[in-house]
Amino acid sequence: MNASIKTESALFPLPFTAFEQLMLADDSRLYPMTFFIQIGLTGDLRREEFEAACSAAVQRHPLLMANVRWKYLRPYWVRTTRETVVQWHDASLPEPSLEQRYIDLRIQPALRVSVGHMPAKSTILFQFHHAATDGIGAMQFIGDLLSLYGDATAEPDEERPQLVPIEPNCLLRRGERWESGRQPPKLLRRWAYRAVEVLGVHPCRIVQRSNVPEDQQQGRPFFLTRFLERAELKALNQTAADRGVTSNELLALAMFQTLHTWNQHAGRDVSRDVFRIVIPASVRTPVHDDCPAANIVSYILLTRRGDQIQKSQSLLNFIAAESRQVLNGRETGIVLLTMEAACLIPGLIRVLTRLTVRLATTVLANVGEVKRQLRNHFPLRRGKCVVGNVELDYLLGAAPVRRGTHVATSVGKYAGRLIINLNCDPRYFTVDEAETFAECFVNHLKQLSESSEEPSNDDSALVRT
- The CATH H-level (homologous superfamily) assignment of domain 2-173 is Chloramphenicol acetyltransferase-like domain (3.30.559.10)
Contacts of 54 (CB under 8 A, 6+ apart): 84, 86, 113, 145
DSSP reduced 3-state for 195: helix
Structure confidence at residue 141 (pLDDT):
98
Q: Which residues pair with 124 in a beta bridge?
A: 39, 115
Structure confidence at residue 464 (pLDDT):
39
Structure confidence at residue 235 (pLDDT):
94
DSSP reduced 3-state for 23: helix
Q: What is the maximum alpha-carbon separation in the chain? A: 65
Q: Tens digit of pLDDT per residue, the chain (465 long)? A: 444 444 455 899 999 999 999 999 999 999 999 999 999 999 999 999 999 999 999 999 999 999 999 998 899 999 998 889 999 999 989 887 888 899 999 999 999 999 999 999 999 999 999 999 999 999 999 999 999 999 999 999 999 999 999 999 999 999 988 766 566 667 778 788 777 777 788 899 999 999 999 888 988 888 899 999 999 999 999 999 999 999 999 999 999 999 999 999 988 889 889 999 999 999 998 999 999 999 999 999 999 999 999 888 999 999 999 888 887 767 788 888 889 988 989 888 888 888 877 889 999 999 999 999 999 999 999 999 999 999 999 999 999 999 889 999 999 999 999 999 999 999 999 999 999 999 999 999 999 987 654 444 555 455 433
CATH architecture assigned to 187-368+399-461:
2-Layer Sandwich (3.30)
The span from the CA of 36 to the CA of 63, in Å, is 17
Task: Report CA-CA distances (Å) from 118 to 38, 90, 124, 220, 288.
Answer: 16, 6, 11, 22, 38
Contact (CB, 8 A) for 383 and 427: no
User: What single letter denotes the amino acid at residue 333?
Assistant: G
DSSP reduced 3-state for 395: strand
Name the residue among 158, 126, 120 with its Cα closest to residue 390. Answer: 120
Q: Which segments of the chain belong to CATH 3.30.559.30?
A: 187-368+399-461
Name the residue among 232, 207, 213, 292 with its Cα closest to residue 462. Answer: 207
Contacts of 200 (CB under 8 A, 6+ apart): none
Structure confidence at residue 191 (pLDDT):
81
Q: What is the full DSSP assignment across 311-326?
A: SHHHHHHHHHHHHHHH
Q: Which segments of the chain belong to CATH 3.30.559.10?
A: 2-173
pTM over 0.85: yes
Q: At what angle do helices 187-199 and 332-343 cross, to 10 degrees?
A: 80
Structure confidence at residue 197 (pLDDT):
76
**Residue 74: phi, psi to the nearest 5?**
-125, 145
Structure confidence at residue 107 (pLDDT):
95
Structure confidence at residue 200 (pLDDT):
80
